[in-house]
Structure 1
Amino acid sequence: MQEHEVGHLFDTVNTQYFDYTNRLHTFNGKWKYDKVKGANCTSKNLAKQHEMLWDPEDQPSVEHHKHRPDCELAKLNKPEEQFVVKDWLRVISYVKATQQYPCIAESTESLSALMDKLVTNTEKFSALNFVKLFVNFVIRLKLENNTTKP
Protein backbone atom coordinates (compact mmCIF):
# COMPACT_ATOMS: atom_id res chain seq x y z
CA MET A 1 0.00 0.00 0.00
CA GLN A 2 1.39 3.38 -1.02
CA GLU A 3 1.45 6.26 1.46
CA HIS A 4 -0.01 9.57 0.38
CA GLU A 5 1.12 12.85 1.85
CA VAL A 6 -1.42 15.62 2.31
CA GLY A 7 1.06 18.32 3.31
CA HIS A 8 1.39 19.50 -0.29
CA LEU A 9 -2.29 20.48 -0.26
CA PHE A 10 -1.34 23.49 1.82
CA ASP A 11 1.50 24.62 -0.45
CA THR A 12 -0.61 26.60 -2.92
CA VAL A 13 -3.66 27.29 -0.76
CA ASN A 14 -3.68 30.70 0.88
CA THR A 15 -4.82 29.80 4.39
CA GLN A 16 -4.48 33.36 5.67
CA TYR A 17 -8.20 34.03 5.25
CA PHE A 18 -9.36 30.72 6.67
CA ASP A 19 -9.22 32.49 10.03
CA TYR A 20 -12.21 34.66 11.01
CA THR A 21 -10.04 37.35 12.64
CA ASN A 22 -7.91 37.76 9.53
CA ARG A 23 -11.02 38.05 7.36
CA LEU A 24 -12.49 40.62 9.74
CA HIS A 25 -9.31 42.71 9.55
CA THR A 26 -9.68 42.97 5.76
CA PHE A 27 -12.61 45.35 6.32
CA ASN A 28 -10.19 47.62 8.16
CA GLY A 29 -13.03 49.29 10.09
CA LYS A 30 -14.27 50.95 6.89
CA TRP A 31 -17.27 48.74 6.06
CA LYS A 32 -20.10 51.23 5.57
CA TYR A 33 -22.86 48.94 6.82
CA ASP A 34 -21.18 48.57 10.23
CA LYS A 35 -22.48 52.07 10.93
CA VAL A 36 -26.05 51.39 9.71
CA LYS A 37 -28.34 50.71 12.66
CA GLY A 38 -30.03 47.32 12.34
CA ALA A 39 -27.94 46.22 9.35
CA ASN A 40 -27.37 42.49 9.07
CA CYS A 41 -24.62 42.77 6.51
CA THR A 42 -21.93 43.80 8.96
CA SER A 43 -18.25 43.05 8.59
CA LYS A 44 -18.51 40.56 11.47
CA ASN A 45 -21.35 38.63 9.83
CA LEU A 46 -19.62 38.71 6.47
CA ALA A 47 -16.36 37.46 7.92
CA LYS A 48 -18.25 34.61 9.61
CA GLN A 49 -19.66 33.57 6.22
CA HIS A 50 -16.39 33.94 4.29
CA GLU A 51 -18.21 36.38 2.00
CA MET A 52 -18.61 40.11 1.43
CA LEU A 53 -20.19 42.93 -0.62
CA TRP A 54 -23.97 42.75 -0.17
CA ASP A 55 -26.74 45.17 0.77
CA PRO A 56 -27.24 46.18 4.43
CA GLU A 57 -30.50 44.23 4.86
CA ASP A 58 -29.04 40.99 3.45
CA GLN A 59 -28.28 38.06 5.74
CA PRO A 60 -24.80 36.80 4.73
CA SER A 61 -25.59 33.14 5.42
CA VAL A 62 -28.76 33.28 3.28
CA GLU A 63 -26.97 35.08 0.44
CA HIS A 64 -24.05 32.66 0.58
CA HIS A 65 -26.38 29.67 0.19
CA LYS A 66 -28.44 31.42 -2.49
CA HIS A 67 -25.54 32.55 -4.68
CA ARG A 68 -23.05 29.73 -4.13
CA PRO A 69 -24.89 26.55 -3.12
CA ASP A 70 -21.99 24.58 -4.62
CA CYS A 71 -19.50 26.11 -2.16
CA GLU A 72 -18.20 23.67 0.44
CA LEU A 73 -18.57 26.32 3.14
CA ALA A 74 -22.24 26.75 2.26
CA LYS A 75 -22.71 22.98 2.21
CA LEU A 76 -21.18 22.62 5.68
CA ASN A 77 -23.83 25.02 6.99
CA LYS A 78 -22.26 25.50 10.40
CA PRO A 79 -20.10 28.12 12.09
CA GLU A 80 -16.35 27.89 11.79
CA GLU A 81 -16.04 27.26 15.53
CA GLN A 82 -17.76 23.89 15.00
CA PHE A 83 -15.49 22.76 12.13
CA VAL A 84 -13.61 19.52 12.66
CA VAL A 85 -10.54 18.36 10.72
CA LYS A 86 -12.75 16.64 8.13
CA ASP A 87 -14.57 19.95 7.47
CA TRP A 88 -11.32 21.84 6.98
CA LEU A 89 -10.07 19.16 4.60
CA ARG A 90 -13.28 19.51 2.54
CA VAL A 91 -12.78 23.28 2.37
CA ILE A 92 -9.08 23.00 1.51
CA SER A 93 -9.81 20.42 -1.18
CA TYR A 94 -12.47 22.69 -2.68
CA VAL A 95 -10.14 25.70 -2.65
CA LYS A 96 -7.34 23.61 -4.14
CA ALA A 97 -9.59 22.29 -6.92
CA THR A 98 -10.90 25.73 -7.83
CA GLN A 99 -7.38 27.17 -7.83
CA GLN A 100 -6.07 24.32 -9.93
CA TYR A 101 -8.99 24.57 -12.33
CA PRO A 102 -10.15 28.21 -12.21
CA CYS A 103 -12.76 27.56 -14.86
CA ILE A 104 -14.67 25.41 -12.34
CA ALA A 105 -15.44 28.35 -10.08
CA GLU A 106 -16.03 30.75 -12.97
CA SER A 107 -18.22 28.46 -15.02
CA THR A 108 -20.57 27.24 -12.29
CA GLU A 109 -22.95 30.10 -12.91
CA SER A 110 -22.56 29.77 -16.68
CA LEU A 111 -23.34 26.07 -16.49
CA SER A 112 -26.38 26.79 -14.36
CA ALA A 113 -27.57 29.37 -16.89
CA LEU A 114 -27.00 26.92 -19.75
CA MET A 115 -28.99 24.24 -17.92
CA ASP A 116 -31.85 26.69 -17.37
CA LYS A 117 -31.77 27.56 -21.07
CA LEU A 118 -31.72 23.87 -22.02
CA VAL A 119 -34.75 23.16 -19.83
CA THR A 120 -36.61 26.15 -21.28
CA ASN A 121 -35.75 25.16 -24.85
CA THR A 122 -36.74 21.55 -24.16
CA GLU A 123 -40.08 22.71 -22.79
CA LYS A 124 -40.60 24.94 -25.83
CA PHE A 125 -39.61 22.12 -28.17
CA SER A 126 -41.93 19.70 -26.41
CA ALA A 127 -44.82 22.15 -26.67
CA LEU A 128 -44.01 22.87 -30.31
CA ASN A 129 -43.63 19.17 -31.05
CA PHE A 130 -47.00 18.47 -29.41
CA VAL A 131 -48.68 21.10 -31.58
CA LYS A 132 -47.00 19.66 -34.68
CA LEU A 133 -48.09 16.11 -33.78
CA PHE A 134 -51.61 17.28 -33.05
CA VAL A 135 -51.87 19.13 -36.39
CA ASN A 136 -50.55 16.06 -38.22
CA PHE A 137 -53.10 13.90 -36.40
CA VAL A 138 -55.98 16.21 -37.37
CA ILE A 139 -54.80 16.30 -41.00
CA ARG A 140 -54.60 12.49 -41.08
CA LEU A 141 -58.10 12.21 -39.65
CA LYS A 142 -59.46 14.60 -42.28
CA LEU A 143 -57.66 12.70 -45.04
CA GLU A 144 -59.00 9.38 -43.77
CA ASN A 145 -62.52 10.81 -43.60
CA ASN A 146 -62.23 12.17 -47.14
CA THR A 147 -60.95 8.88 -48.55
CA THR A 148 -63.67 6.79 -46.87
CA LYS A 149 -66.54 8.91 -48.26
CA PRO A 150 -68.11 7.62 -51.54
Structure 2
Amino acid sequence: MYVRHLQVGSFRSWERVDLALGPGPTVFVGGNGEGKTNLVEAVGYLATMGSHRVSVDGPLVRHGADQAVVRAALRRDDRELLVEIEINPGKANRVRVNRSPLQRPRELLGLVRTVLFAPEDLALVRGDPTERRRFLDELLVTRTPGWPASARTTTGCSSSATPC
Protein backbone atom coordinates (compact mmCIF):
# COMPACT_ATOMS: atom_id res chain seq x y z
CA MET A 1 0.00 0.00 0.00
CA TYR A 2 1.16 3.53 -0.68
CA VAL A 3 -0.25 7.05 -0.72
CA ARG A 4 -0.74 7.89 -4.39
CA HIS A 5 -2.11 11.37 -3.82
CA LEU A 6 -2.23 13.61 -0.73
CA GLN A 7 -4.31 16.75 -0.28
CA VAL A 8 -4.50 18.89 2.84
CA GLY A 9 -6.51 22.03 3.44
CA SER A 10 -6.01 24.36 6.41
CA PHE A 11 -3.88 21.73 8.13
CA ARG A 12 -1.21 23.15 10.44
CA SER A 13 0.92 25.59 8.42
CA TRP A 14 -0.53 24.56 5.07
CA GLU A 15 -3.40 26.49 3.54
CA ARG A 16 -3.59 23.98 0.69
CA VAL A 17 -1.34 21.20 -0.60
CA ASP A 18 -1.97 18.85 -3.50
CA LEU A 19 0.79 16.24 -3.99
CA ALA A 20 1.03 13.33 -6.40
CA LEU A 21 3.21 10.61 -4.89
CA GLY A 22 4.60 7.34 -6.20
CA PRO A 23 5.38 3.95 -4.74
CA GLY A 24 8.57 3.63 -2.74
CA PRO A 25 10.21 6.11 -0.41
CA THR A 26 9.25 9.78 -0.52
CA VAL A 27 11.62 12.42 0.81
CA PHE A 28 10.48 15.93 1.75
CA VAL A 29 13.36 18.40 1.65
CA GLY A 30 13.31 21.97 2.93
CA GLY A 31 14.38 24.32 5.66
CA ASN A 32 13.22 24.30 9.25
CA GLY A 33 9.62 25.37 9.75
CA GLU A 34 8.54 24.89 6.12
CA GLY A 35 5.95 22.17 6.88
CA LYS A 36 7.67 18.86 6.08
CA THR A 37 6.67 17.28 9.39
CA ASN A 38 3.13 18.64 8.96
CA LEU A 39 2.74 16.55 5.79
CA VAL A 40 3.98 13.43 7.56
CA GLU A 41 1.66 14.24 10.47
CA ALA A 42 -1.30 14.49 8.06
CA VAL A 43 -0.66 10.99 6.72
CA GLY A 44 -0.20 9.73 10.27
CA TYR A 45 -3.53 11.30 11.23
CA LEU A 46 -5.26 9.28 8.50
CA ALA A 47 -3.82 6.12 10.03
CA THR A 48 -4.39 6.78 13.72
CA MET A 49 -6.93 9.62 13.91
CA GLY A 50 -4.49 11.34 16.21
CA SER A 51 -1.32 13.36 16.14
CA HIS A 52 2.06 12.26 17.40
CA ARG A 53 2.71 15.88 18.47
CA VAL A 54 -0.48 17.06 20.20
CA SER A 55 -3.25 15.33 22.15
CA VAL A 56 -6.17 17.45 20.86
CA ASP A 57 -7.22 18.39 17.34
CA GLY A 58 -7.37 22.19 17.73
CA PRO A 59 -3.69 22.87 16.89
CA LEU A 60 -4.03 20.86 13.67
CA VAL A 61 -6.37 23.45 12.15
CA ARG A 62 -4.62 26.40 10.51
CA HIS A 63 -4.99 29.66 12.42
CA GLY A 64 -8.17 31.45 11.33
CA ALA A 65 -9.81 28.36 9.77
CA ASP A 66 -12.81 26.49 11.17
CA GLN A 67 -11.73 23.05 10.03
CA ALA A 68 -8.90 21.15 8.37
CA VAL A 69 -9.19 18.48 5.70
CA VAL A 70 -6.82 15.61 5.03
CA ARG A 71 -7.52 13.49 1.96
CA ALA A 72 -5.47 10.68 0.45
CA ALA A 73 -5.84 8.32 -2.46
CA LEU A 74 -4.26 5.03 -1.44
CA ARG A 75 -3.15 2.30 -3.77
CA ARG A 76 -3.17 -1.29 -2.52
CA ASP A 77 -2.31 -3.83 -5.21
CA ASP A 78 -4.80 -3.07 -8.00
CA ARG A 79 -7.33 -1.37 -5.72
CA GLU A 80 -7.68 2.35 -4.98
CA LEU A 81 -9.15 3.78 -1.79
CA LEU A 82 -10.03 7.42 -1.07
CA VAL A 83 -9.83 8.37 2.61
CA GLU A 84 -10.98 11.80 3.86
CA ILE A 85 -11.10 13.32 7.32
CA GLU A 86 -12.61 16.70 8.21
CA ILE A 87 -11.07 17.83 11.48
CA ASN A 88 -13.59 19.96 13.41
CA PRO A 89 -12.19 21.08 16.78
CA GLY A 90 -14.84 21.01 19.49
CA LYS A 91 -17.18 18.99 17.25
CA ALA A 92 -17.22 15.52 15.77
CA ASN A 93 -14.75 14.87 12.98
CA ARG A 94 -16.20 13.51 9.74
CA VAL A 95 -14.60 10.49 8.11
CA ARG A 96 -15.36 9.19 4.63
CA VAL A 97 -14.00 6.23 2.71
CA ASN A 98 -14.63 6.26 -1.03
CA ARG A 99 -16.93 9.25 -0.42
CA SER A 100 -19.19 7.25 1.93
CA PRO A 101 -19.39 8.43 5.55
CA LEU A 102 -18.35 5.98 8.24
CA GLN A 103 -20.87 5.47 11.03
CA ARG A 104 -18.06 5.23 13.57
CA PRO A 105 -14.84 7.04 12.69
CA ARG A 106 -12.80 4.33 14.45
CA GLU A 107 -13.74 2.01 11.55
CA LEU A 108 -10.97 3.83 9.68
CA LEU A 109 -8.29 2.30 11.91
CA GLY A 110 -6.37 -0.36 10.03
CA LEU A 111 -7.17 0.91 6.52
CA VAL A 112 -4.15 3.23 6.40
CA ARG A 113 -1.05 1.64 7.85
CA THR A 114 1.94 3.72 8.80
CA VAL A 115 4.93 3.59 11.09
CA LEU A 116 6.23 6.96 12.21
CA PHE A 117 9.54 7.65 13.89
CA ALA A 118 10.04 11.17 15.18
CA PRO A 119 12.89 12.69 17.21
CA GLU A 120 10.92 12.20 20.42
CA ASP A 121 10.85 8.46 19.68
CA LEU A 122 14.49 8.14 20.75
CA ALA A 123 12.92 7.30 24.10
CA LEU A 124 12.11 3.91 22.53
CA VAL A 125 15.78 3.07 22.60
CA ARG A 126 17.10 5.14 25.48
CA GLY A 127 14.12 5.49 27.76
CA ASP A 128 11.89 3.64 30.13
CA PRO A 129 10.18 0.40 29.01
CA THR A 130 6.84 2.24 29.23
CA GLU A 131 7.65 4.03 25.97
CA ARG A 132 8.44 0.75 24.23
CA ARG A 133 5.12 -0.70 25.45
CA ARG A 134 3.24 2.37 24.21
CA PHE A 135 4.86 2.05 20.79
CA LEU A 136 4.07 -1.67 20.60
CA ASP A 137 0.46 -0.95 21.69
CA GLU A 138 0.10 1.55 18.83
CA LEU A 139 1.70 -0.86 16.37
CA LEU A 140 -0.68 -3.63 17.47
CA VAL A 141 -3.68 -1.30 17.03
CA THR A 142 -2.50 -0.60 13.48
CA ARG A 143 -2.29 -4.32 12.70
CA THR A 144 -5.41 -5.34 14.70
CA PRO A 145 -7.79 -2.35 15.00
CA GLY A 146 -10.22 -4.07 17.41
CA TRP A 147 -7.46 -4.77 19.92
CA PRO A 148 -7.88 -1.71 22.18
CA ALA A 149 -11.48 -2.54 23.02
CA SER A 150 -11.01 -6.24 23.65
CA ALA A 151 -7.55 -7.63 24.35
CA ARG A 152 -6.19 -4.71 26.30
CA THR A 153 -8.97 -4.89 28.88
CA THR A 154 -9.03 -8.68 29.10
CA THR A 155 -5.26 -9.09 29.50
CA GLY A 156 -4.85 -6.13 31.77
CA CYS A 157 -2.05 -4.87 29.53
CA SER A 158 -1.62 -1.19 28.84
CA SER A 159 1.23 1.20 28.39
CA SER A 160 0.98 2.26 32.03
CA ALA A 161 0.47 -1.20 33.53
CA THR A 162 3.08 -3.53 34.87
CA PRO A 163 4.73 -5.81 32.31
CA CYS A 164 2.40 -8.47 30.83
Whose strand proportion is higher, 1 or 2?
2
TM-score interval, smaller chain: under 0.3
Normalising by the residue count of structure 1, what TM-score does the alignment of the two structures yield? 0.25
Greater percentage in helix: 1
Q: TM-score, normalised by structure 2?
A: 0.23
Q: Could you say which structure has the larger radius of gyration?
A: 1
